[in-house]
Structure 1
Amino acid sequence: MTDSTIWWVLAGLVVGAELLTGTFYLLMVSAGLIGAAIAAHLGVSLPFQIAVAALLGGGLSVALRFYRKAAAAKNPLSKTDGNLDVGARVMVDAWATDGTAQVKYRGANWVAMPVTGETPTPGMHQIEEVVGSRLLIKKL
């Protein structure tokens, strides 16, 4: 079996592993293996093929890591952490003596609490945070 065939088989196995695990980094490693296969087709020595696989696969993996970090820094989820309830509005009719209120939200009754420093007053509020099954709300 030729060197290029071995590299192509390894690249195929790594792509298969990527499909099973869902990590995008294995695609970068397989790109390095494909680069080594191309180098083998060009007739370069085995140490150079290994260097191509390592440098290309490793370099692409590191580049992907930096890209993901930069993209995450540009588009943070801020305080919502992906929670689509944050920012929604609820109506508080009355507050209980313990500082909580029952509010109707998404067709269910929720326990609501004011955020720290807020005075519990009836009226329209905005959800600031969801803690377990409690809504932390702020007066609008």
Structure 2
Amino acid sequence: MTDWMSWLVAAGILVVAELFTGTFYLLMIAIGLGAGALAALSGASGSTQTFVAAVVGLAATAILHRSRFGRPARSEASRDRNVNIDIGQRVVVSNWQDGRARAMYRGALWDIELGPGAQPEAGDFRIVEVLGSRLIVSNA
């Protein structure tokens, strides 16, 4: 097997592995291996092929890391609707005392606190955050 074929086989293996992991980092390394294959096709020496593959792979990985795809979204789990199914749900509060209340929600008694800008009046409220056993709510 020639050098360029070896580079492409290794790149193909990484592309398949990337499909199982769901990250783009292995794909960036596979791009570097593809560049090594191009260097081999152009007749470069083995050390030059390796150098080209490493430089292109590292550059592609660095570019990915700086992009929005390389960083996970930083959000608090207590406010993230994808993490906590209670965010956005409604709860009925009948009376307030000093910005706090207790109300039944999903079959249990919860401590409820007002969120920023919410008014302490009886009625429906929307859950905006869950902190332990406390629901932080805003007016519906």
1:112/1:137 contact within 8 Å kept: no
User: How far apart, CA to CA, are the structure 2 residues paired with 1:95 and 1:8?
Assistant: 68
Structure 1 residue 65 and structure 2 residue 72: aligned? no
Q: 1:11 to 1:19 in 2, by over 3 A?
A: same
* Alpha-carbon distance, 1:91 to partner: 2.4
Q: Quick check: 114-123 or 54-63, which moved more?
A: 114-123
1:37/1:49 contact within 8 Å kept: yes
1:109 corresponds to which residue?
Answer: 107
Matching of residues 1-140 of structure 1 within 5 Å: 1-68=1-68, 77=75, 80-83=79-82, 85-94=86-95, 99-104=100-105, 108-110=106-108, 111-115=110-114, 121-132=121-132, 134-139=134-139
Question: Which runs of no fewer than 5 residues in structure 1 stay unpaired?
Answer: none
* Alpha-carbon distance, 1:27 to partner: 0.3
User: How far apart, CA to CA, are the structure 1 residues paired with 2:133 and 2:121?
Assistant: 21
* Alpha-carbon distance, 1:50 to partner: 1.1
1:10/1:33 contact within 8 Å kept: yes
The one-character-per-residue Cα deviations of 1:42-84 (angstroms, maximum 9, x if unpaired) are 21222221121111111011100101279878xx657733446
User: How far apart, CA to CA, are the structure 2 residues paired with 1:65 and 1:3?
Assistant: 29
Question: Which runs of no fewer than 5 residues in structure 2 stay unpaired?
Answer: none
Percent identity between matched residues is 38
1:102/1:109 contact within 8 Å kept: no
* Alpha-carbon distance, 1:23 to partner: 2.1
1:86/1:130 contact within 8 Å kept: yes
2:17/2:26 contact within 8 Å kept: yes
Q: Quick check: 126-135 or 25-34, which moved more?
A: 126-135
Aligned residues: 134
The one-character-per-residue Cα deviations of 1:81-106 (angstroms, maximum 9, x if unpaired) are 3446434443212459xx542244xx
2:93/2:123 contact within 8 Å kept: yes
